[in-house]
Amino acid sequence: MLALLALLAQEAPVIELAELLTGGAFRPGHWAPLDVRVRSSAAFAGEIVVRTDAGLAIVKPVEVGPGLPDPVIPVFALAIDAPLEVLLRRDGQILARYRRRSLGRGLYQSDRLILARGTPPDERTVLF
């Protein structure tokens, strides 16, 4: 009975946010780093699955729990308006799901994506 109460008291894991580390910008057809913020009251090993419009799933083993760092996963999209879906799985079972209509701000090939501080030199340069 105590074991059942302890299981009920544990919160279900949640994917709070999935955010590109490039200020929300990405170039279609290129890899970009995705930071996935997962919260769980109990530590466990599982896997993060990231899907976009590219027709492939990126799967990364992760350790989830209080005090553990958020995983960063490489993500790949083909379209400027690519959707995003992130799953947290353990033993093949989906524990949490995060969906967004758009992965981020897709850039055209002529746009420049640079790391800088201050104001952009022109409207085609994205600063993050």
Tell me if 42 sits within 8 A of 122, measured CB to CB. Answer: no
H or E stretch at 7: helix 2-9
Give pLDDT tens digits for 70-89.
999 999 899 988 999 999 99
Q: How many CA atoms lie within 13 A of 62 on its CB side?
A: 27
* Boundaries of every domain in the chain: 12-127
Asked whether the predicted pLDDT for residue 6 surpasses 80, the reply is no
Nearest residue to 56 via CA among 69, 73, 39: 73
Give the tokens for residue 48: 């993060």
Checking phi first, is residue 58 left (phi over 0); if not, alpha (psi -120 to 50) or beta? beta
Lowest mean pLDDT among 9-13, 21-25, 31-35, 43-47: 9-13
Asked whether the predicted pLDDT for residue 24 surpasses 90, the reply is no
pTM for the whole structure: 0.77
Tell me if 75 sits within 8 A of 67, measured CB to CB. Answer: no
Give bridge partners of residue 74 from the DSSP assignment: 33
User: Per the CATH hierarchy, to which homologous superfamily does domain 12-127 belong?
Assistant: Immunoglobulins (2.60.40.10)
